Amino acid sequence: MVQINISTTTPVNPPSATPKLSHSDLWKALVSKARQPEEFVAVIDKCRIVSENPSGLRRAVLFKGEENEVEEDVRFVKDMKIDFHVPATGQAVSNIISGLDSDPEHLMLTFTFEWPHPGIKDDDEMEIRKLKEKYEALSRNVVPHTVAVARKMVVEGRLG
């Protein structure tokens, strides 16, 4: 079985960014992304919360162009990361904040992606390369977009 693993990190507050996001702002935005991902993830059409527990939630996501929802388990590690796991496929994503509130200039956001592909053989180099290129392109855009949405939410006063 082939598993494609990719991680992407972006600075949250480059010199030209305004307003500067705090660690708290970014955390609140990621929690919002877990609950209402449509604004953050263009391929998601709808999301509903199935259940909640002290450490997270289970949500059902409908992707654009699909007929069936995908259930995801979401785990919150307060102020540091949110893990998303699809039990049906083994796919996993983590959204990780690094840096301190006292140092917003060095705040970073990292997304890690784990995509299992049980139907692809380890020696199918062409297919593996195509998947890596596809996932690298996807990951390159999604992290900066998440930061941009978080900044927009701060400007609009939606993070409290």
Q: Which domains does the chain have, with CATH numbers?
A: 2-155 (3.30.530.20)
Residue 144: the pLDDT is: 95
Cα separation, 55 vs 41, whole angstroms: 23
Return the percentage of the chain with pLDDT > 90, whole number: 91
Among candidate residues 77, 93, 74, 91, the one with its CA nearest the CA of residue 36: 74
Q: What order of strands is seen across the sheet that includes strand 92-98?
A: 2-11, 108-117, 92-98, 81-85, 70-77, 56-63, 44-53
Does pTM top 0.85 for this prediction?
A: yes
Q: Which pLDDT band holds residue 107 (cuts at 50, 70, 90)? A: very high
Residue tagged 């990190």 (tokens)? 9
> How far, CA to CA in Å, does 74 sit from each of 50, 65, 112, 150, 159?
11, 23, 14, 19, 20
Cα separation, 28 vs 18, whole angstroms: 18
Q: Which pLDDT band holds residue 160 (cuts at 50, 70, 90)? A: confident
pLDDT tens string 79-103: 999 999 999 999 999 999 998 777 8
pLDDT tens string 26-56: 999 999 999 999 999 989 999 999 999 999 9
Q: What average pLDDT does the segment 12-34 reach?
A: 96
Look over the chain and give the mean of its residue pLDDT values, rounded to a whole number. Answer: 95
